[in-house]
Structure 1
C-alpha cells in the first residue's frame, strides 16, 4: 500500500468548500472589544502632540522601548538600532506606521473614534530614493579573484536592472483575536499563522510571562506568501490589551491598511556583469545590489538581500563570483519576504544578463545556458559561501537534462511555431529562463503521531496551513509509513499546545522538513506497534508483517491484531506493557537539517506586445520543475500555477510607488494592479522527479516557489525578444508605460 505520489483529493477541501473553515475573522467572543490602529499620515516627522478621546493607547502607555526582534539573524550584523517599535513614540518613519490604538464595542465605532485622534507633526526630510536612504548593513558574499577573472576575460557584459517594490496581497488580510482567562492571565490567540511557536516565544518575552500561558491555536489562512504570520506591532498590541483589560480583543485589518502595513518586498537596484572567454564559457559573475528595506528592519532582518546574492550564480558553473549588498533604510513601508524572496530578483537580473550576453557573443541564448550549466556529474557542488546559516551545497540534479526536456515539451506544444507565425505581423517574443531554488531550511521540525483505540491516527505537526495542502501531504506521508488509509488520519498543524516545538511553514520547508519529521514519527509508531503486537500474539517481531492497518503473522492470515487493538493494549495497566513503559501508542520525532535542498526549473513564455499601447499580453506559459519526489502531483502543479499568476503580476502590473513626500501612490486596487483571469495565459506544467533529494528520507524538494521564481526573468526576456532590443529591458514591472518608452527609444 503506497500513497506517496498519488493524486488524492485534498483533505482540507470538504470543510473549506462547505464554508466550515476556521479563519481569523470567524472567531468571536462575548464581550470582545474591537481594536483600530491609528497610523501616521506622514512619511517622516517628529510627533509634537497627540489629541485624542479618553482611552486611546499611545507609546507612553506601553512598557518602555518595545521593539520587534529579528527572527533570522545572518552575517553577524547587528540590526538592533533599526528595529521597529510597537508604537511610534517620538518619530514616525513611514506612512502607515502605528502611532496609537483605540478600542470600542464594535469595529465601526472604533473606526469613528480613530478618526477623532489628531496628531501634530514636525515634518522631517523624506528619503524616497534608495540611494538617499540610511545605510543599515553592507556585506559581500563570493569566492575567487573577481578582478583577475574580469581582467583575463575576452568578453565582459554588464547591465543595470531595477526590480520594483511589490508584495503579496493574499485573499485574507490579517486578523487576530486574543481571549484571556481573568484568573490566570492565560491567553488564547487565534490568527497568528505561519510561525506560531516563534511568535508565542516573542510574545511571552515582550509580555514578561511564561510561554505556557500562551496558546496559539491552529487556523486556516487565506494565503500567506511570506507576508502574513510574521510578528507585527498588532501581534503584541492585541494580546497586551486583552491582558490589561481582562477582556477579549479583536482586530481585523482592512485592505487599505494591508497595502501600507504588511511587509513590502523586492525593491532592488542591480549592476551585474559577466565575464566570458572567447568560446562563451562563463569565467565570473559580479553583482552589486542596492536593496531598499523601507523604514525598519523587521523580523526577516537582511535575509532577502543575503539570498539575492547567495543564489545569484543559479544553476550555472561559475568559477568566480562576488556579490555586494548595501541595505538602505528609506521612508517607506518596511520590507520582508515575499514568495521566492531574493531569487525572483536575482534570477530576473542574471537571466537578462545572459540574454544580452548571448546576443553580443553571437551565441544562441539557450545554447549559452546549456554550455554553462553545471552537469549532472558535477553535483553535488559546493560554493564557498553560506546563506540562512547553511553552506551552499547544490545537492542533486540534472540541469541540462531538464532544460532539454523543457525545450522538447515547448516544441511539442507548438510554442516555437506559434511565435514564428505571430511575428509575421505582430511584435511577439519568446522568453527562456533557468532558475535555482532553495527549500527545506532547518534547523529542525518536530512531529507527533499517535494511534487511538478506535484506530484513528492523529498527527501534530509544527507546520501551518496557509493553503498549500499541508494536511493532505502529511496525511499521505503518514499513511505510507503506517500502511493505513489516509481517511483515518487527522493532521493538526500550528497548535502550540499540541506541538510546542514547531518551526512553522515558510522557506518551502513544510514537506521537506515537516514531512520528514512526520515520516520518522510514523515509522516509530509502527515499530512500537509491532513490538506490542509481538507480545499480544506471542511471536517474534521478525515473524510479523504490517498490512492494511493490521499486524499479522507472516503466512498466517487469521492471526493478526489491528492498530486499534494494539492501541487498546497500550492503555495504563495493560498486561502487554512492560514495567515503566509509557502508555499510549504515540511517538514524537525530530528531523534536523544541516543543508538545504535545491530544486530547479525552466520557464518558457510567449508574449505579444502591442506597439501602440505598450500592453504586454502573455499568451502561453510553460514551467518545467524538478521536485525530487512529488507527494501529491496535483498539489505540486497547483503550487506552480499559483506561482505563475503572482509572477505575471510582479513582472507586468504590481508596484508600490511613492511621491516625493513619501506618500504611497497605490493604496487601493484602483492603483495597485493585480492580475485577473483575463491577464493569465494557459499554463503548461512539466513536473520532473528525476533527482530525489539525498538529504531527507522522502527525497522531496520544495514546490512552493518554483512557479514564481523565474517569472520576471522569462517575461522580461520575452519582451526583449519581441522588441528586438540589443540591451536590457532595464526594470520590472514592465508596465505599458515603460514598454512604450522602450519602443520609443528603439525607434
Structure 2
C-alpha cells in the first residue's frame, strides 16, 4: 500500500457520522439520563480575588429536593491541588512555579467563577434555587488584572508563598542577535498585544457519573478531548483501579482545546455519585462557561527585527509576558508555542526570545485552537510588514526573499519545541504556497480591483501572510482493528472526536488497506472499555498519530487476511487482491472468499493450531513520532473598509495549505473553514472585557461577539501535498492552521486599505475591533488634519 493511499485515501467520501448527527441520533453527554440521576449546580464566586471567611449552606441543605451540599470541608483527602498536566520541557535556566487549584475553594479565591460549593438535588432547577440560598462572606482583595503590571514589585500577590506573581521564566536563543542588530541597515521595534478570548464551543462541558456498588465499577460520560488520561486521574484520586473506571467521550460538540484540561467537576461528579449511591449529572451553562472553562491569548510583546537593505532577515528579538490566569496546570505549552512558531517559514539566523509567565486574577489559560501559535505568527508577520514599509518593498517580496527553500529540509531552527524535541521542519512547500496564494488572490492585478470596489465609497486592501504549524506531536496513540464474522470491520482507538470527521477519515485508512468500503468500517472512539491506551485529541495530531497507528494495525490485519485466504484458495498470497469485502485471485475474481468467512475460519472451535498462531483477523498497533510534523500554508484576503464607521467586510478569503497527504479533501476544507471563522472572531470581534475589579463585563453572547454566518465569507482553498518524512502515511495536522494566521493577514489588509487615507497607520493590537479601529483612525494625524474621506465614504 503506497503512502498516498489507494481507492479511498484522498477521496471525497461523505462523512459516516453525518446521518446520526443530522437526524438527532448522535449521543452527547446531555443525552445521557441514567434512571434516578441527581443533578448538580455549583455556587461560584462573583469576586476574582478574596478570602472566604464563612460559607453558610444550611438553608440550601434544608431546601426541599436537595440531597447534599458539599463544601471543601466535606472532601477529605480529595481536597488537594490538581496535578500539572503538562510539565515544561527541560530548558536550561528554566524557572517554573506550578500552582494548581483545589476542587472547591477552602479559603483563598483567585479568579471569578471558582467553585465554593456543590449542590446535588432532584433536578437542576431545585439545585439552582438552593444555590441562591448559600451565603458567602468574602473579604475582597485588590485584584491583579492588568498584565502589564502583574509582575511589578508592588502588585498584590496571588499565591502568598511566592515572592512575586512570576509563574515561569524561559529564554531561548541562537546565533548572536546583538551582532546582527549592529550590522543591520534597518532595525524596527514595536510593542504588540494579543488579548483574551474563549473557545466558544456549541456544547459546554458536561459530566455524568454512575457508581455501581454491586459491580464495583464507575461509569463516566464526559465532554473531554482526553478520556484515557482523565480516566487515569479519576481512578487514582478515588482509589480505584483503572479497570474499574470506564470513561466515555461520546460525540463532543466542539473541543478547541479547553476540553483537553482536567477540571474539578470531572472528579467531583464521580465522587458525589459514589457518596450518594446515585447517578449524578452536571451540565455547564453558558454563563458558567465564561469563568469555569479555561481561556487563551493574553500576551504583551516587545519585539524587534533587524534586516539588511535587500530585506533579508538578520535577526529577531522578542521579549514577552504571557498571562497564565490564576493557576498554570497546563505548563508552558502556549508561550513555548508562541516562542517557536514566531520563526515561521523564514530563515532567521539570529534569534533571541525570552518570556515571563504571570499569574493574574483571571480564569486559567490553556490551549484554545492555535494554542499560542497565532501570537507568534502575528509578531513575525507584522514585523515583516513594517520592515517592508521601511525599505520600500512589497510585503510579498520581502517574504519571497526570506522563505526557506524546498531544498533546505529538514530544517533545524536550533531551539526546543513543546514536545521536548528540537524545532525541526521535516518538509514543506513554503515558496510554492506563497506563490499560489499570490496568484489566486490576483495580487499583481489588484490595483484594478481596488479601483472597481472603491467605487462604493469604501477603501480596499489585500493581505498575504505565511505560517508554519507544529502538529502531530507524541507521545503515541493506538488502534485495534477486528474483522468480525459478519464481514463488518471494527476499529477502536482511544482518541475522542469533536467534529473532525474521524469516523470517516479513519475508516478510509482501514478501507484502503483491507479492501472494504469506508461505510463498512464501524469506528469506536473515546471509550476506555474499548481501547484504554493513548493520550487524546489535541495539537492537530489525530490524523498523524492515531491515523498512523490505524494504518499499521490495518496492514497487520491485511497480512492475516492474505495468509488465511491463500490457505483457503490454495494460492500464493502475492496472487491475491483485496476488494469489495473479499480476497480474490488476481485475474480470476470468481476464485474468492469473503472476509466474514475468513474471520470465522481464523477462530477455530476444534482442532489444533500451529504454535504462535493468533486467533481472529485482528491486530493492535501503536504509533509514536520521533518529533512533531510541520504543516504550512499561506492565507490571502481582500477587505473593504468603511472609513466613517470602521466596519470591515472580507470580500475574499484564500487558504493555500499543505498538510501532507490529504485523507479526505472535504474534511480538510471543513477544518480550514472552521479555523478561519475562529480566526476572524479572534481578529475583529472577540474580546473578553475585564473591569477594574477583575470581573468579566461581557459574559454572554449578547455582549461577547462571535462571528456569524454573515461575517464569514466563502473560503477558497487550494491543497498542496508535501508528505511528511516522519510517518508512513505522510500526514500532517490541519485542525488549527485555518485559525493561526488570520489576525496577521487581517491587519495587513486593513492597513493596505487605509494606506492613502491614514498613511503609516499600524495595527499592533488584536483584536482590532471596529471600536478599536475607529479610535486608531481618529487619532491619526492625517485624519485629524482633514484629509479623511467625505461623508459619502469616498476618499477626499
**TM-score relative to the length of structure 2:** 0.91
Aligned to 1:48: 53
The 2-side partners of 1:535 and 1:163 are apart by 64
Aligned with residue 399 of structure 2, among 369, 374, 378 = 369
Aligned to 1:129: 146
Q: Is the 8 A contact 1:431 1:718 kept in 2?
A: yes
Aligned to 2:686: 654
The 2-side partners of 1:354 and 1:375 are apart by 18
Q: Is the 8 A contact 2:226 2:536 kept in 1?
A: yes
**CA gap 1:606/1:574 in 2 versus in 1, 3 angstroms:** farther
**1:296-375 equivalences in 2 (<5 Å):** 296-298=327-329, 300-375=330-405
Aligned to 2:131: 114
Aligned to 2:619: 587
The answer on 1:392 being equivalent to 2:392 is no
Q: Is the 8 A contact 1:462 1:501 kept in 2?
A: yes
Deviates more, 1:93-102 or 1:677-686: 677-686
The 2-side partners of 1:484 and 1:575 are apart by 30
The 1-side partners of 2:734 and 2:541 are apart by 9
**CA gap 1:152/1:574 in 2 versus in 1, 3 angstroms:** farther
Structure 1 gaps of 5+ residues are none
* Cα offset, 1:522, TM superposition: 0.6
**1:76-115 equivalences in 2 (<5 Å):** 76=90, 81-115=98-132
Aligned to 1:167: 198
Aligned to 2:153: none
**1:256-271 equivalences in 2 (<5 Å):** 256-271=287-302
In the TM superposition, what whole-angstrom CA distance separates every residue of 1:505-561 from its partner, at most 9, and x where no partner exists? 111111111111101101100101122223323334344333332223445443322
* Cα offset, 1:265, TM superposition: 0.3
Q: Is the 8 A contact 2:437 2:464 kept in 1?
A: no
Aligned with residue 23 of structure 1, among 15, 25, 28 = 28
Secondary structure at the residue paired with 1:273?
strand
Q: Is the 8 A contact 2:148 2:300 kept in 1?
A: no
In the TM superposition, what whole-angstrom CA distance separates every residue of 1:682-701 from its partner, at most 9, and x where no partner exists? 22111222x11111111111
Secondary structure at the residue paired with 2:598?
helix
**CA gap 1:433/1:88 in 2 versus in 1, 3 angstroms:** same
Aligned to 2:439: 408
In the TM superposition, what whole-angstrom CA distance separates every residue of 1:118-162 from its partner, at most 9, and x where no partner exists? 110111121001133211001012311111211221211111110
The answer on 1:32 being equivalent to 2:29 is no
* Cα offset, 1:337, TM superposition: 0.5
Secondary structure at the residue paired with 1:437?
strand
**1:614-653 equivalences in 2 (<5 Å):** 614-653=646-685
Aligned with residue 743 of structure 1, among 758, 773, 777 = 777
Q: Is the 8 A contact 1:157 1:356 kept in 2?
A: yes
In the TM superposition, what whole-angstrom CA distance separates every residue of 1:218-274 from its partner, at most 9, and x where no partner exists? 400111111124211111110011111111000001000001111110111111111
In the TM superposition, what whole-angstrom CA distance separates every residue of 1:368-418 from its partner, at most 9, and x where no partner exists? 001001111111101111212222111112211111111111119986542
* Cα offset, 1:79, TM superposition: 5.4
The answer on 1:462 being equivalent to 2:488 is no
Aligned with residue 59 of structure 1, among 62, 72, 76 = 72
The answer on 1:283 being equivalent to 2:314 is yes
The 1-side partners of 2:321 and 2:443 are apart by 41
**1:530-569 equivalences in 2 (<5 Å):** 530-569=562-601
Aligned length: 745
Q: Is the 8 A contact 2:95 2:169 kept in 1?
A: no
The 1-side partners of 2:495 and 2:727 are apart by 17
Aligned to 2:527: 495
Aligned to 2:64: none
Aligned with residue 71 of structure 1, among 85, 90, 99 = 85
Aligned with residue 765 of structure 2, among 731, 734, 737 = 731
In the TM superposition, what whole-angstrom CA distance separates every residue of 1:34-54 from its partner, at most 9, and x where no partner exists? 011111111111110001133
Secondary structure at the residue paired with 2:24?
coil
The 2-side partners of 1:587 and 1:91 are apart by 51
In the TM superposition, what whole-angstrom CA distance separates every residue of 1:467-525 from its partner, at most 9, and x where no partner exists? 01011000001001111111211011111111100221111111111111101101100
The 2-side partners of 1:629 and 1:663 are apart by 46
Aligned to 1:706: 737
Q: Is the 8 A contact 2:84 2:98 kept in 1?
A: no
* Cα offset, 1:727, TM superposition: 5.4
Secondary structure at the residue paired with 2:565?
helix
Q: Is the 8 A contact 1:218 1:494 kept in 2?
A: yes
The 2-side partners of 1:431 and 1:576 are apart by 70
The 1-side partners of 2:571 and 2:250 are apart by 45
Q: Is the 8 A contact 2:223 2:252 kept in 1?
A: no
Aligned to 2:452: 421
In the TM superposition, what whole-angstrom CA distance separates every residue of 1:427-463 from its partner, at most 9, and x where no partner exists? 2221111111111111111000110011100000122
Deviates more, 1:269-278 or 1:250-259: 269-278
The 2-side partners of 1:42 and 1:521 are apart by 52
**CA gap 1:596/1:21 in 2 versus in 1, 3 angstroms:** same
**CA gap 1:234/1:467 in 2 versus in 1, 3 angstroms:** same
The 2-side partners of 1:677 and 1:413 are apart by 30
The 1-side partners of 2:754 and 2:299 are apart by 24
The 1-side partners of 2:52 and 2:425 are apart by 50
The 1-side partners of 2:85 and 2:510 are apart by 30
* Cα offset, 1:80, TM superposition: 6.2
The 1-side partners of 2:89 and 2:600 are apart by 52
Q: Is the 8 A contact 2:438 2:464 kept in 1?
A: no
Deviates more, 1:484-493 or 1:715-724: 715-724
**TM-score relative to the length of structure 1:** 0.97
Q: Is the 8 A contact 1:536 1:576 kept in 2?
A: no
Q: Is the 8 A contact 1:379 1:394 kept in 2?
A: yes
**1:644-683 equivalences in 2 (<5 Å):** 644-683=676-715
* Cα offset, 1:184, TM superposition: 4.1
Secondary structure at the residue paired with 1:523?
helix
Aligned to 1:485: 517
Aligned to 2:323: 292
The 2-side partners of 1:56 and 1:157 are apart by 59
The 2-side partners of 1:717 and 1:80 are apart by 38
The 2-side partners of 1:712 and 1:697 are apart by 34
The 1-side partners of 2:649 and 2:577 are apart by 58
Secondary structure at the residue paired with 2:132?
helix
Q: Is the 8 A contact 1:356 1:727 kept in 2?
A: no
Aligned to 2:408: 378
Structure 2 gaps of 5+ residues are 1-5, 62-67, 151-164, 784-796
The answer on 1:442 being equivalent to 2:455 is no
Secondary structure at the residue paired with 1:718?
helix
Secondary structure at the residue paired with 1:19?
coil
The answer on 1:193 being equivalent to 2:224 is yes
**CA gap 1:81/1:230 in 2 versus in 1, 3 angstroms:** closer
Secondary structure at the residue paired with 1:56?
strand
The 2-side partners of 1:674 and 1:210 are apart by 43
